[in-house]
Structure 1
Amino acid sequence: MLVTNAFQHVPRGGRAQRGPSRRTVLVTLSSSAATALPLLSAAPAGASPQRADDLLYIGTWGQGQVHAVRFDPDRGTMTSLGPVAQASANWVTAHPYRPVLYVAGAEQGGFVRVFRIHDASGALRKVGEVETQSAPAGSGGLSFIGLTPDADALLVADFAAGAAATVPVGADGLLGPVASRVQDTGSGPHPRQSGPHPHHVVLAPHRKSALVADFGADRVFVYDYDRATHRLSAGAPDGPAAYLTAPGSGPRRLAFHPNGHTVYLLNELTADLQTLHWDATKGTLTHRQTLSTNTPGHTGVTSAAELAVSSDGRHVYTSNRGESTLVVFSVNLGTGLLTEVQRVPCGGVTPWSFALHPSGRWLFVANEASGTVNLFRVARGSGHLTDTGTSVAVPFPDCITFRVRAGTPGLTRF
């Protein structure tokens, strides 16, 4: 497994054939000019590291680029900085307090590349690379990377190889050699489920278990996690514990409620959202509720994509790619059960992913097929979403992460 670091520098799926929606695009350059811009070079020595706004980094599906956007959270304005790195970008995530960005690739080898962020300009400089696959795998590459709550390890979902991995993160944000790798098993009835395909990895609140949503196996696997060594293991002699979904569900995303014993599971192929009970002592999941993210009488493509829980635990957000909608659910704080409260168009086509701003006031949607990142306002109290009409052009956006300005509450990735 390859690990490279430049220490000297450190202090999916079909696309709908529709054009972008006619939104207000707040950019300093036209979208065509932004796309044609050369990559931002590293800022000159002596440039001020201070910034007034946050930075958004956006992966692009099949385009081999990472784009950046500057965001003013007070005024709700976005300014495109264009492409800032040439790298396959199935998923991107930023370190919560170091100026470091991690980029997961789609090519064989399961590469995670590390970039140093220059805050004043938004420029990226590659400072490291880790190869997480131990053997050649099929197409698709990595589907997710995310940091542990301590930001001391990276959790990796290797869709192509059917495995999950962990990679230690140093105090400087650089990656060490792969610490562990576990192989999922199983398949499903859908043509895309010929074998295991992990899509998401999260740690349980007690940080002794890792849950893996496996799209191909129709299971959520529960692995033991050693916080000291960052290693995943099967635990029981007969393999990891597993929660089984209905055949052909395609588990895609998991999110823990702040209460620590409720887990939400979004299934891609059936576009339903499940509420599960998490027993930390036994390491098991139990079904409690299933709700559809489709409208009643839905026909055509069925595909759910993204899931997030508000920081106060009062609302759950999902995206539906088949209907190009965002669906909001209220949470009963006593039971953790859900009630649908809003369904709105996503502002474009195919909401591949979205991200809640750490302030809780904004939600950004990566509309992959229409090539836009659209901004929604989140209402305090009700949690309802309002399309601001503001967007930026990004080719085939697939995920969004934040580098927030000083004083902004820390980012939580879902």
Structure 2
Amino acid sequence: MQRYEKQSNRIVYVGTYNGGGNDSLYVLSMDKSTGELSAIGAYAEVEMPSFLTVDTERGRVFAVSELQDEAGKEGGEVASYAVEPETGALRYIGKQPSFGASPCHLVTDREGKRLVVANYTSGSVSLYPISEDGSIGPLADRKQHEGHSVRSDRQEAAHAHCTVLKDSRIFVADLGMDKIMIYNIQENGEKPALVLHGEVQVHAGAGPRHIAFHSELPYAYVINELDSTITAFAYSQEAGTLREIQTVSALPDGFAGESYCADIHIGVSGDYLYGSNRGHDSIAVYRIDRTNGKLTLIQHEPTGGAWPRNFAVTPDGKFVLAANQNSDSIVTLAVNENTGRLEPTGHELRIPKPVCIRFFE
């Protein structure tokens, strides 16, 4: 494991669709001033770690293993690593079955004691305790979503796609049902449970995929994979509810090609929102109206590669890293802090099938 200079560089973890005993989880060093990336480590314990979540405070990385089945049983796995803070190196701790096919997203609670996992193909959500040493305990609870929507090719059944923590509640976007399911984690001693708090209907055929909550204002944004739109919601912290206020296209006017939305993030300033398009291979940039939460399109910036399944805004807000799954590349884009616009930097790192980017900071 190569060392990195903490003052001038930051650690980046990358999940991929690699497997078969090959390196699949990568550790990168990123130059804070230029955005240039270099690979400094790689690990092969987890097959297809397509989504990661990082608990920086406790020095943990959690990963899904997006498998349809494992050892003859339906379902993938979830795994944990300990972080060596001086180098970013990882030490594999262990794994648990996800009790659902194709786990694709996961999140921890604020105390680092609970882990919630979305199983895409099964349309289910699994809850686990996390031990003091970072190991994932046995399954505590599992909720099976039931339903479908109008697209028979993609919405024939429930497909849980993301798990997002906001104000102690878990928000789950279900692409198959066109719904956002909202859960509370109820503490029952050693065995916590997921308790349904409510649900929000998204327009038919949308295919809600990922959710971004504004850090300061009462707004949430859902990127819809199937019809390439972004829906803005007013969020009530007290009630734990979402109310739709606007839906906009994520694609340019007149675009007639095949494209599917993927990831969504709000910039560090809170003034701009970003969403990725797979097919159009771009990141759409919007200005957020702080008075009402509505979006105004600013630009579509090419990601410099194919199929940007995931991207990340650096903690200082200066760069966006785009994971181009089908061109095996991570491209660094600069953020114009005055306008929110994205600009090429010329920096690109070759990584096989990158599909998730997370920072340790």
TM-score w.r.t. length of structure 1: 0.78
Retained in 2: the 8 A contact 1:93–1:400? no
User: Is 1:397–2:358 an aligned residue pair?
Assistant: no
1:167: Cα distance to partner? 2.1
In the alignment, the residues of structure 2 paired with residue 84 and residue 223 of structure 1 have an alpha-carbon distance, to the nearest angstrom, of 33
Q: How does 1:218-367 map to 2 (within 5 A)?
A: 218-226=178-186, 231-235=193-197, 241-367=198-324
Instruction: Identify the match of residue 110 of structure 1 among 42, 60, 76.
Output: 76
Aligned residues: 347
1:122: Cα distance to partner? 4.4
1:242: Cα distance to partner? 2.0
1:62: Cα distance to partner? 4.4
1:342: Cα distance to partner? 1.8
Retained in 2: the 8 A contact 1:186–1:216? yes
In structure 2, runs of 5+ residues without a counterpart are: 70-74
User: Is 1:193–2:155 an aligned residue pair?
Assistant: yes
User: Is 1:175–2:136 an aligned residue pair?
Assistant: yes
Retained in 1: the 8 A contact 2:222–2:232? yes
In the alignment, the residues of structure 2 paired with residue 223 and residue 197 of structure 1 have an alpha-carbon distance, to the nearest angstrom, of 16
Matched letter for residue 146 of structure 1: V
TM-score w.r.t. length of structure 2: 0.89
Query: Would the alpha carbon gap of residues 227 and 260 (structure 1) be closer, same or farther in structure 2, given more than 3 Å must change?
Result: farther
1:254: Cα distance to partner? 0.7
Say which SS state the counterpart of residue 369 (structure 1) adopts. Answer: helix
Per-residue displacement from partner, 1:87-109 (whole Å, max 9, x unpaired)? Answer: 22121122222332211011233
In the alignment, the residues of structure 2 paired with residue 123 and residue 186 of structure 1 have an alpha-carbon distance, to the nearest angstrom, of 42
Matched letter for residue 13 of structure 2: Y
Q: How does 1:13-24 map to 2 (within 5 A)?
A: none
1:143: Cα distance to partner? 1.0
Per-residue displacement from partner, 1:236-293 (whole Å, max 9, x unpaired)? Answer: xxxxx32222222111011111245211111000110011122344433221101001
Matched letter for residue 74 of structure 1: S
Query: Which structure has greater strand proportion?
Result: 2
Query: Would the alpha carbon gap of residues 310 and 152 (structure 1) be closer, same or farther in structure 2, given more than 3 Å must change?
Result: farther
Structure-1 residue corresponding to 2:175: 215
In the alignment, the residues of structure 2 paired with residue 183 and residue 374 of structure 1 have an alpha-carbon distance, to the nearest angstrom, of 37
In structure 1, runs of 5+ residues without a counterpart are: 1-39, 236-240, 405-414
Greater CA drift, 58-67 or 340-349: 58-67
> CA-atom RMSD, angstroms?
2.3
Matched letter for residue 17 of structure 2: W
Retained in 2: the 8 A contact 1:101–1:117? yes
Greater CA drift, 146-155 or 210-219: 146-155
Instruction: Identify the match of residue 97 of structure 1 among 38, 57, 70.
Output: 57
Q: Which has the higher contact order (CA 8 A, sep 6+)?
A: 1
Retained in 2: the 8 A contact 1:56–1:68? yes
1:155: Cα distance to partner? 2.3
In the alignment, the residues of structure 2 paired with residue 374 and residue 363 of structure 1 have an alpha-carbon distance, to the nearest angstrom, of 8
Retained in 1: the 8 A contact 2:217–2:290? no
Say which SS state the counterpart of residue 173 (structure 1) adopts. Answer: coil
Say which SS state the counterpart of residue 74 (structure 1) adopts. Answer: coil
In the alignment, the residues of structure 2 paired with residue 338 and residue 157 of structure 1 have an alpha-carbon distance, to the nearest angstrom, of 28
In the alignment, the residues of structure 1 paired with residue 347 and residue 90 of structure 2 have an alpha-carbon distance, to the nearest angstrom, of 25
Say which SS state the counterpart of residue 316 (structure 1) adopts. Answer: strand
In the alignment, the residues of structure 1 paired with residue 4 and residue 187 of structure 2 have an alpha-carbon distance, to the nearest angstrom, of 33
Query: Would the alpha carbon gap of residues 71 and 228 (structure 1) be closer, same or farther in structure 2, given more than 3 Å must change?
Result: farther
Retained in 1: the 8 A contact 2:179–2:202? yes
Per-residue displacement from partner, 1:40-95 (whole Å, max 9, x unpaired)? Answer: 6xx9xxxx998553221111124451122111213422112353234221211222
User: Is 1:165–2:126 an aligned residue pair?
Assistant: yes
Retained in 2: the 8 A contact 1:258–1:312? no
Greater CA drift, 112-121 or 313-322: 112-121
Per-residue displacement from partner, 1:98-149 (whole Å, max 9, x unpaired)? Answer: 332211011233311112233455443211212231xxx55xx111012223
In the alignment, the residues of structure 2 paired with residue 51 and residue 270 of structure 1 have an alpha-carbon distance, to the nearest angstrom, of 42
Structure-2 residue corresponding to 1:369: 326
